[in-house]
Amino acid sequence: MKIPINLRPGRALLLLVVTLGSIFAQTPQQKKALAALGELSNSFEALAEQVAPAVVQIFSTGYAPGDAQTASSILAPQRSSGSGVILDPNGYIITNAHVVEGATRVEVQLASLEKAGAKSRSILRPRGKKLPATILGLDRETDLAVLKIEGQNLPFLQLGDSDLLRQGQLVLAFGSPLGLDNSVSLGVISSVARQLRPEDPMIYIQTDAPINPGNSGGPLVNTEGQVVGINTLIFSQSGGSEGLGFAAPGNIVRNVFEQIKRHGRVRRGEIGVNAQTITPTLARGLKLPQDWGVLAGDVSPGSPAAEAGLNSGDVIFSLDTKIMENGRQFEVNIYRRPVGEEVLLEVLRGSERLTMKVSVIERPDEASRFLEMVNPRDNLVPRLGILAIDIDSRVEEMLPRLRKKFGVLVAAISADSPVENGAFYPGDVIYGINGVEITGLFGLRAELDKLRPGDAAALQIQRRGQLMFLGVAVEQ
């Protein structure tokens, strides 16, 4: 707006103020909306102040293979960092296993704490204490670990019920992305349950809250300040956050945390049944009473499920009165059960409806016991990307639930495996390939040598005591 030149400066200034005031005048609705926005901002600020003191930065030192061209030794020191959160005021911390695995020394940097009523003289707060930490135990299957530091009355957070999460719910991710301590980001729950690998009972919460390297082990928090997940991994093409972050659900975290805190390891339950998702084709072919739900594909001999009377081909309708819609849901629910509990199954067998109580027993840990028995020179099967060993009397004693007295045990997965990630798991036992029985490593390599690149290999394997077929394409 132009000011007439014949006005005196004082009157011109007054006219300008009045004019601008009319332009920027707010309606009652606008004022109400801005006030609500301010209240929302204040709520997030208060939430961050509540959560941040319990979030820690973790530094681990260990050894890793050095650069053969520059390193004079085989192993070289390696230092990494991640995040964690205090879940007990006596110094018990949850983080990711990959943050501390293989570490020879672990230190925890606490958040800076200000005395009540004290006013900070700078927005750059001093760093908190750095304390040595002990690894009480780690669980590779969930990628979680529990640490202990000396301390009492430390700030801590409560675990929330992750089963109550809903798509679109607001959450905050805390941690130290790229080493930048005490950072917070905002997002929503993109999915309440993501299975990242086939046949994997572990599920994750997916969020678009920005998560980057260094956030691993930090808490995913709801608007009540409860930990509903532990930030674990991201999917990224650039190496940075692309809105595809994944967190271990709070209810699984609670189970792992309490067990490691009490026993130093995680005892997992099973009942001895291979649960498969019913498809319409299976339902028609087997004349099942429904074309959805869970089918008992295999019942391990001598298992609690077998002793309770469950048969292969039975339809598992419900677990503890909860209707089972697919095999993954059944596995996840069994996965969380403490060893020694009983579960109630409602089963459909033809037109008959049965109920049976089944005891949960400890699932044997077969994944990491065989690494010391293999080396790449003698045990590598490059066409499958595995390190494997023959089933001899010593291995047989370590695998008491073998379904056959021959085969090849998968001890480890090669880092450069040509087979799709997640196809094989340590502890798998290979019994056959394309209908030919496999009695040892020599026979497995001989059968693989007959295949050309692109040929299909249908392997009969035993996984966690149950038989299944695994199809892979031979690429090299």
User: Which residues have a catalytic role annotated?
Assistant: 98, 143, 216
What would the two tokens of residue 221 be? 């928090």
3-state helix, strand, coil in the chain (%, to 5): 25, 35, 40
Alpha-carbon gap, residue 377 to 282, rounded angstroms = 44
Alpha-carbon gap, residue 354 to 305, rounded angstroms = 13
User: 372: Cβ–Cβ under 8 A, 6 or more apart, which residues?
Assistant: none
φ/ψ (deg, to 5) at 6? -85, 0
User: 456: Cβ–Cβ under 8 A, 6 or more apart, which residues?
Assistant: 434, 471, 472, 473, 474
Residue 438 CB burial class (10 angstroms; 0-12, 13-18, ≥19): buried
Cα 88–Cα 93–Cα 95 angle in degrees, nearest 5: 145
User: 21: Cβ–Cβ under 8 A, 6 or more apart, which residues?
Assistant: none
Residue written as token pair 């980057």: 212
Question: Any idea what DSSP says for residue 160?
Answer: P
Do 46 and 98 contact (CB within 8 A), yes or no? Answer: no
Q: Count Cβ neighbours within 10 Å for each residue of 136-166 and write b for 16 or more, e otherwise.
A: bbbbebbbbbbbbbebeebbbbebbebeebe
Alpha-carbon gap, residue 364 to 143, rounded angstroms = 18
List 472's β-bridge partners, or say none.
457
Alpha-carbon gap, residue 474 to 476, rounded angstroms = 6
**Amino acid type, 24:** F
Residue 214 CB burial class (10 angstroms; 0-12, 13-18, ≥19): buried
